Copies of this chain bind each other. A is one copy, B any other.
Amino acid sequence: MSARLFTFVGGESGAWRITRMEAVTGMPLARAEALDIVQGAAPGESTRAQWQLRGITSNERYVVQEEKARLVEKQQGLGRPEAVCAALIPIRKSAEWWSLPQDARRRLFEEDSKHVEIGLRYLPAVARRLHHCRDLGEDEPFDFLTWFEYASVAEAAFEELVRELRASPEWRYVDREIDIRLRRELSQ
């Protein structure tokens, strides 16, 4: 059984240095200098973290067979040595989104917004892992945490990727979004 639960800990030190934090929509997150990604539940409250965000990897909610095959064929894993840039993008969607039936959400996600189609254009340069938060409990501040890794040479492409997604009809349902950019710290 592979690990599914991850905690993103923002604080004073960590494996990733935070280079930029921007509240794209809604309330900002407290400023932190660095980030660690911890497998499993959050460390205790006693740590000097500014914030801890939890998410769990899960089954696909919208991707169909043919899309999955193309994704699996093109995508690469996290941890590539050249991927020294990263982004953590926590997102919350509105109550209106969550009250939509499955077919309406799928239509917005792909037929209207081309979420998979857009993502595929940036593979294999951008690697990603999606974490779900909404069903971890009642009080989670976000619905999703997406973690992206890419090489310096792909920085402009990554800007284009997030720009395209934010311009899509699906993003009308995003009511909180934070964009956190990071650089891997050199080994000491």
A103 touches B137 (CB 8 A): no
Q: Name the interface residues of A75-105: CB closer than 8 Å to any CB of B.
A: 98-105
User: Is A3 interfacial (CB-CB < 8 Å)?
Assistant: yes
A3 to B106, CA, bound (A): 26
A64 partner residues in chain B, CB cutoff 8 A: 101-103
Q: Which of A10-18, A128-136, A153-161, A165-173 participates in binding chain B?
A: A128-136
User: Is A122 interfacial (CB-CB < 8 Å)?
Assistant: no
Main secondary structure of the interface of A (DSSP, over half): loop
* A100 nearest CB across to chain B (Å): 8
User: Is A187 interfacial (CB-CB < 8 Å)?
Assistant: no
Q: A64-B101, A102-B64 are in contact. Are A137 and B134 (CB under 8 A)?
A: no
User: Contact flags (1/0) for A53-85 with B, using CB distance below 8 Å?
Assistant: 000101111111101100000000000000000
User: Is A4 interfacial (CB-CB < 8 Å)?
Assistant: yes
* A60 nearest CB across to chain B (Å): 5
> A65: which of B58, B59, B65, B104 is its contact (CB, 8 Å)?
B104
Beyond A58-B135, A59-B98, A135-B135, 4 additional contacts (C-beta under 8 Å) are A3-B138, A4-B138, A61-B61, A102-B106
Where the two chains meet, the residues of A that have a C-beta atom closer than 8 Å to any C-beta of B are 1, 3-5, 40-41, 56, 58-65, 67-68, 98-106, 132, 134-138
A62 partner residues in chain B, CB cutoff 8 A: 102
A41 partner residues in chain B, CB cutoff 8 A: 137
A3 partner residues in chain B, CB cutoff 8 A: 138
Most buried by B among A60, A103, A135, A136: A135
* A84 nearest CB across to chain B (Å): 29
